[in-house]
Amino acid sequence: MLVSATEMLKKAKAGHYAVGQFNINNLEWTKAILLTAQELNSPVILGVSEGAGKYMAGYKTVVGMVNGMLEELKITVPVALHLDHGSYEGCLKCVEAGFSSIMFDGSHYPIEENVAKTKELVKITREHGMSLEAEVGSIGGEEDGVIGMGECADPNECKMIADLGIDFLAAGIGNIHGKYPANWKGLSFETLDAIQQLTGDMPLVLHGGTGIPTDMIKKAIDLGVSKINVNTECQLSFAAATRKYIEEGKDQQGKGYDPRKLLAPGFDAIKATVKEKMEIFGSVGKA
């Protein structure tokens, strides 16, 4: 059964580790992530962007697929199904479809409007026993066609949003989605420290987990990050493994064209990436 992410992230914050949010794109992604979490006895959050939700034929399809897998694959570790960077309307759709967690990304609104809309969603998610993530300070990079510049959030605005009753907070600290450019200055630990001092026990979320060096990840966890989002890295490892299979001509040998064979190396590559991340984040054995 799906659970909200509230308890797993409270435990992570208290225990000084982070739970990974791995974004899903299809059946192979979902199965690879769930099986890895079960094998490592780790809690996990499945992230679904609005674009990926549309690609997978809508939020209800996603809920049906994930619930089916939890039962048929006998997954017993805590699993949350979470809308990633949701619009207000997208959040309402996911509440209705049966997600267990949502992120409202109001970072592009003036702070008053972000506060007003987040407040509404606090009320709605509480009524449904779901968890809610809010965002202050836009995360850089491109996601679903929206390009953010990777700003650092204002710690006072973070406190304002954290006090509304949300469950965890994403704050920009110089992180960006996708690959980091060669001239990236790294995470702003000064900003993160100031945010944690003002927001106390609130679990903090680090977006753009792909390509952040391990020492920075560990320092971020020390400073209160309890959820780390990873998307691009699974896409890169899936693509590399699939490319290798085809370049070696394996799709042309025997029934190598069967999707169950063609997609197997990519599936295994996602599993390996998720395992590596869970080990770095410290969530192994914490289910």
Residues that bind ligand 13P (CB under 6 A): 23, 47, 84-85, 177-178, 207-210, 229-233
Task: State in angstroms the smallest separation of the CB of 47 from ligand 13P.
Answer: 6
84 is catalytic: yes
Task: State in angstroms the smallest separation of the CB of 244 from ligand 13P.
Answer: 22
DSSP result, 112-178: HHHHHHHHHHHHHHHHTT-EEEEEES--BEEETTEEE--PBPPHHHHHHHHTTT-SEEEE-BS-BSS
Pick the catalytic residue from 84, 105, 215, 251.
84
Task: State in angstroms the smallest separation of the CB of 230 from ligand 13P.
Answer: 5
The neighbour count for residue 236, using CB atoms within 10 Å, is: 16
**Beta carbon nearer to ligand 13P, 199 or 229:** 229
**Beta carbon nearer to ligand 13P, 47 or 245:** 47
* Alpha helix stretches (DSSP H) within the chain: 6-15, 27-39, 50-55, 59-72, 88-97, 111-127, 155-162, 189-199, 214-222, 232-247, 259-262, 264-281
Amino acid at position 17, single letter: Y
**Beta carbon nearer to ligand 13P, 184 or 262:** 184
Task: State in angstroms the smallest separation of the CB of 228 from ligand 13P.
Answer: 8
Report the distance separating Cα 201 and Cα 74, nearest Å: 33
**Beta carbon nearer to ligand 13P, 77 or 234:** 234
Report the distance separating Cα 173 and Cα 217, nearest Å: 12
Q: Is 186 helix (H, G, I), strand (E, B) or coil?
A: coil
Residues annotated as catalytic are 84
